[in-house]
Amino acid sequence: MPMTPLYEQIANDIRAKIASGEWPVGHQLPSHTELQTQYKASTTAVRNALLLLGPRGEGLVDGQQGKGRYVVRKP
């Protein structure tokens, strides 16, 4: 039975928020540390989720150093 890993759950949750319109294009995502506390996850789990959703993956979100991560596209 394939259990879903934590980083996959986080990615699915964020993807769902973007798809539903709760986080529209241009919306700023919570900071890395906030995501950690929200999902009670480590840096790696959050980072892996964002790596899959990021520019080198699905391309739904993108981040800029010092500013934050933003939704760039709907799934």
Min separation Cβ 21 and DNA, Å:
21
Q: Which two tokens stand for residue 57?
A: 């993956």
Binding mask 12-41 for its own copies (x = CB under 8 A): ------------------------------
3 DSSP assignment: P
Q: How far apart are CA 45 and CA 47, in angstroms?
A: 5
Stretch that binds its own copies, among 14-22, 27-35, 50-58, 66-74 (CB under 8 A): 50-58
Q: Which helix (H) or strand (E) holds 64?
A: strand 61-64
Q: Which two tokens stand for residue 53?
A: 């959703």
Binding residue for DNA, selected from 50, 53, 60, 71, defined by CB under 7 A: 50
